[in-house]
Structure 1
Amino acid sequence: MKINGIQRVDQPYKATEVMKPQKVSKPSLQDSVEISREGLLLNQTTAGMPSERLAKVEELKQKINAGEYQIDPEKIAAKIASYYQK
């Protein structure tokens, strides 16, 4: 029996290149906010508000900051009920 040559079993493994892991960039850990064009249009500015409304808003801000603003739960319940009874 004649043997022409020995086949090397490990030869196919040497022929392929070993893939090295690539560095993956880490995502940014910063929060961001994007406001749509419609949202920008809805932005409430005090320039277009009537003076009566500005006075009421300012009064409410002062009451809230002073801790004097009281919420009437019965009024809220009545408004919610009237909305759903329509």
Structure 2
Amino acid sequence: MKINKFNIPPVNPYRANQVKADQAKEKATAKMDKIEISSKAKQLSETTPFEAKRNERVQQLKAQIESGEYKVEPEKLASDLIKHFQK
């Protein structure tokens, strides 16, 4: 007995799983994270005048140290440390 094909397309049982996996990947890549920063957070992230002055002072000290002009006064340092730890 001979069985003839009647134009039946070949069936791939793994194709359905492949299509589902591709669709899942597309959905995953389509989702995007979104972040919104409040105006209060933006305000807090701005530098304050105090921070600007401090950064300027730090840069001055770094320049003095690198050039060798910075001198430590041991007596003043010791008295300031004692005052700090006596609080």
TM range (shorter): 0.3 to 0.5
Greater percentage in helix: 2
TM-score, normalised with respect to structure 2: 0.39
TM-score, normalised with respect to structure 1: 0.39
